[in-house]
Amino acid sequence: MVIRLPESGSKIACKYVSNPVLLKIPEIEGNGVKFDVRYMLCVRSVLPLKLYVHKIFWLRFANKSFSMKELDDYATHFTVMNIQTNAHVREIDCANFIAMFNEQHSEHGDKWSTVEQRIFEIFREVFHCATIEEAPLGIGSCLSSRAVYAADLVLESKNNRIQPKLLEIKFSPDCHRACTIYPNFYNQIFNLLFRGVTDDQDLADISA
């Protein structure tokens, strides 16, 4: 099956993160579950680049302890549970997650604050690269334009270091979950993008 994939056109392959950072959940036995992290990014300007990140992030969790033994087990390897019929969607807010993460992983010297700075560096590099060239090779500049993106990541454990791995960035994402859990979310985004309010503690300027 894999050998015949080129017959249907060109493909881009991505190496699977086989050693993800896990989070131990009390009610799930094993070494911990796989999870991904979503941050919301706001672009207020392209030239010069004015890029902001909302520091309240969202999490998705697998429902089974991680293992490489059963690669076709959805509940082990995937974190998007809301599309599965009768699947449990686990909710842990970012404050509780940070406390759990630091308790479980700080022995490696990687507290969440350190990992988060690595994540922000990735975002900065991506958007600097995306705005080097003018449209259509890069993101075009328009003084009246604003944009919101969602960035999804997993964390990989490599050489006793936690390294974020960017999965994808989505333009104009669905923010229903963000608004449900955090009702002030869009007020903050609107104030930043259209009123220039940049002193909100939940928003960070990562342009440079």
Q: What angle do CA 187, 192, 195 make, to 5 degrees?
A: 95
Give the number of residues written for the chain.
Answer: 208
Query: Which pLDDT does position 110 carry in this prediction?
Result: 86
Q: What is the dihedral of CA 203, 52, 116, 88, to 10 degrees?
A: 80
Mean pLDDT of 197-208: 93
Its pTM surpasses 0.85: yes
**Residue 191: both structure tokens together:** 């104030």
Query: Which pLDDT does position 6 carry in this prediction?
Result: 81
CA distances from 185 to 59, 175, 177, 204 (A): 16, 9, 10, 14
Mean pLDDT of 72-77: 91
Query: Which pLDDT does position 182 carry in this prediction?
Result: 87
37 has pLDDT over 90: yes
Query: Which pLDDT does position 14 carry in this prediction?
Result: 82
Q: Domains in the chain, start-ordered, CATH in brackets?
A: 16-205 (3.30.470.20)
Greater model confidence, 91 or 154: 154
Q: Point out the least confidently predicted range of 7-16, 65-74, 126-135.
A: 7-16
Mean pLDDT of 59-82: 91
> Average model confidence (pLDDT) for the chain?
92
Q: Using the 8-state DSSP alphabet, how is residue 8 labeled? A: G
160 has pLDDT over 80: yes
Query: Which pLDDT does position 1 carry in this prediction?
Result: 67
Query: Which pLDDT does position 178 carry in this prediction?
Result: 86
Mean pLDDT of 136-148: 94
195 has pLDDT over 90: yes
**Residue 79: both structure tokens together:** 């974190």
CA distances from 12 to 6, 115, 138, 169 (A): 10, 28, 20, 16
Using pLDDT thresholds of 50, 70 and 90, give the confidence band for residue 82. confident
**In 60-197, where does DSSP find H-type helix?**
74-77, 94-105, 112-130, 176-181, 185-195
pLDDT one-digit tens code per residue, 87-129:
788 889 999 999 999 999 987 678 999 999 999 999 999 999 9
33 has pLDDT over 70: yes
